[in-house]
Structure 1
């Protein structure tokens, strides 16, 4: 047989074996009702649609987005340090960090970081 044919058959057999292993490992033995039910934004979508919305989930989402955008801003600063002028880079980095620390202080002062209230 041709070498390409042998390689194709061996790769198909390997893929088949891997698929069988994945299906046997991934079998769910217990179907839990709570795990299979949807849960979004702090309320059960099956219950009444006019229940009050929990503001804690909204605050968690907003603060997550803020910190996520902060990471997007800070990571390129570290990468561009070697290829930029050091004084401009330092001033820009200090300005961004002052803005971030001021925002964190504002969130802390207004009680946005207290999850129990």
Structure 2
């Protein structure tokens, strides 16, 4: 087994670690460290923090986030599908239409269930 083949890989790893770790070490060693109570206090949007950091969020918050990701991905997939529609032919059109239909049914279901109502 010839280790000369792996030299570029080892160099790549070494350079990557150097570029990623060296600035952090230099900043930690040479950077100023002057803590005071104002710097160490918790800060949240311009006012003092209140409540527990482990408070529970409403499930609807996560549901809206998941729906946003779902429809964002749908939009990202529609553009290449539409751009290559001529090459895909009728079968590609029907498969894309099936995906859009499934997502539309899910959207209507969520709308009927009231998942999109923000109170």
Is 2:68 the partner of 1:64? yes
Offset at 1:38?
4.4
Dislocated runs of 4+, deviation >4 Å? none
**TM-score scaled by length of structure 1:** 0.52
Higher relative CO (Cα under 8 Å, sequence separation at least 6) belongs to: 2
Which structure's residues are more often helix, by fraction?
2
Quote the residue 1:106 is aligned against.
109
Equivalences, count? 76
Quote the residue 2:88 is aligned against.
84
CA RMSD between the two structures = 2.8
**TM-score scaled by length of structure 2:** 0.51
Which consecutive unaligned segments of at least 5 residues does structure 2 have?
1-42
Offset at 1:70?
1.0
